[in-house]
């Protein structure tokens, strides 16, 4: 005999409420009781599905974080730039400041950390596909460490936004894209 089936509508309302609170007030201010109240649900509805804030926020990010587009512009430089534009949209969001709290909490919850890593891998897949196409086109001669590419692209955005407290301007994104192309191809690219 199985238990009562999950109410997907309720789950989506709770995830939407968590996303709304995360984007409007940040990670630190997000409380599970406030999520329940905003979703017009019971506190136990939240705790039954997510035993901790970190798990709820990880699922809310997976459900609501704007996707990284799948693109094929025909050139490595343009593909990298499209990828960076999508990442910049996420890194420029006001709620991103609370990400430090989420990352700190992940170390205490292996399941949430695993879910967060899988979300990151899904978001990096379009860039891995772009690198593979660039290899097929002959733009890249040696196959790079594909896991390192994401770090090389997203790392400067994260650092500029969270440590440098500076905006991700089009000029900055272009400089990152050109640097990545130069590193991957061994040649300079005209913008």
| Domains and their CATH numbers in the chain | 8-53 (1.10.10.60), 65-185 (1.10.357.10)
Mean pLDDT of 16-29: 92
- Distances in Å between the Cα of 161 and the Cα atoms of 53, 114, 131, 140, 181 are 24, 25, 25, 29, 22
CA distance 55 to 61: 10
Band (71; pLDDT cuts 50, 70, 90): confident
Mean pLDDT of 109-134: 93
């Amino acid at each position: 005999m199985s238990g009562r089936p999950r109410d997907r509508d309720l789950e989506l309302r709770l995830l939407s409420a968590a996303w709304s609170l995360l984007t409007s007030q940040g990670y630190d201010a997000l409380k599970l009781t406030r999520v329940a109240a905003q979703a017009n649900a019971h506190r136990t509805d939240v705790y039954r599905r997510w035993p901790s804030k970190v798990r709820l926020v990880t699922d809310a990010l997976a459900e609501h974080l704007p996707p990284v587009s799948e693109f094929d512009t025909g050139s490595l430089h343009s593909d990298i730039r499209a990828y960076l534009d999508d990442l910049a949209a996420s890194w420029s969001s006001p709620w991103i400041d609370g990400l430090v709290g989420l990352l700190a909490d992940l170390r205490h919850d292996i399941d949430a950390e695993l879910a967060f890593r899988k979300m990151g891998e899904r978001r990096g897949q379009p860039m891995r596909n772009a690198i593979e196409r660039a290899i097929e086109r002959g733009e890249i001669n040696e196959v790079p460490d594909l896991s390192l590419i994401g770090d090389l692209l997203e790392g400067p955005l994260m650092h500029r936004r969270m440590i440098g407290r500076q905006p991700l301007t089009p000029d900055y994104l272009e400089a990152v894209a050109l640097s990545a192309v130069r590193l991957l191809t061994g040649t300079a690219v005209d913008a």
